[in-house]
Amino acid sequence: MLLKLFISFFKVGAFSFGGGYAMLPFIQQEVIEANKWLTHSDFLDMLAIAQITPGPVSINVATFVGHKLSGILGSIVATTAVILPSFIVVLLISFFFEKFQESKTVQNMFKGLRPVVLGLIASAAIDIGKETIIDIKSIGIAILIFCLISFKRFNMILALLLAGILGVIMY
């Protein structure tokens, strides 16, 4: 199981760009569809916990999945595997960055990757939304929190607390 965890989360770390939310479709593919380790509902519960836990959401999800499947050692393996590809790439880039920083090709490559990251994040939001927006109350909470964060620059921690309180009151 530990080897399968490592391989799955190493693939997630190696083939997803943008980190955080952009990695969620890849994690979902590995955890729910390819390996059937979790149900969609379990994944959403872990995602909710990962969002309110300090640190990058994708790393938190890897940690929680690893723990659910193989305890503390599973957490360590999954977390290490998901960050290892980025660590290696950043280490390699750091050796060459100054030399290629002004390269038009490198700048254009990064411009081309930005829309991909946005598309991955939008895909994750839509997929999660299908399971999360279940009735008029959940739509109301989502719209309220979106508006507070987007237009009023409301504190994210307070928004999470407010959403939790609204969930307790409304459900």
Average pLDDT of 121-134? Answer: 83
Residues 39 and 9 in one domain: yes
Q: 36: which DSSP letter? A: -
What's the pLDDT tens digit per position in 78-122? 999 999 998 998 898 888 777 777 888 888 988 898 898 888 888
DSSP conformational letter for 20: G
Question: Quick one: 89 and 115 in the same domain?
Answer: yes
State how far the Cα of 155 lies from the Cα of 62, in Å rounded to an integer: 26
User: Within this chain, do residues 126 and 150 fall inside the same structural domain, yes or no?
Assistant: no
Q: Which pLDDT does position 126 carry in this prediction?
A: 86
Distance CA 62, CA 143 (A): 28
Please give the average per-residue pLDDT across 61-82, as a whole number.
96
- Together in a domain, 110 and 71: yes
Contact call for residues 82 and 59 (beta carbons, < 8 A): yes
Confidence of residue 151 (pLDDT cuts 50, 70, 90): very high
Judgement on whether residues 34 and 107 belong to the same structural domain of the protein: yes
**Average confidence (pLDDT) over 114-138:** 85
Domain that holds residue 66: 2-132
| Co-location of 64 and 94 in the same domain | yes
> Quick one: pLDDT at residue 20?
75
**Are residues 66 and 77 in contact, defined by beta-carbon separation less than 8 angstroms?**
yes
**Same domain, yes or no: 155 and 114:** no
- The pLDDT of residue 62 is 94
- Say what the pLDDT of residue 134 is: 85
Same domain, 108 and 162: no
Cα–Cα distances (Å) from 52 to 6, 24, 45, 55, 85, in that order, read 25, 16, 11, 9, 25
Tens of pLDDT, residue by residue over 19-65, are: 677 888 889 999 999 999 999 999 999 998 998 888 888 899 999 99
Structure tokens at 63: 């940690």
Tens of pLDDT along 152-162? Answer: 989 988 998 99
Same domain, 69 and 141: no
pTM of the model: 0.63
Do 88 and 24 share a structural domain? yes
As given in the structure block, the two tokens for residue 35 are 């390996």
The count of structural domains within the chain is 2
- The alpha-helical segments, DSSP class H, found in the chain are 2-15, 24-28, 40-52, 57-100, 104-132, 136-152, 156-170
Shared domain for 140 and 121, answered yes or no, is no
96 and 155 together in one domain: no
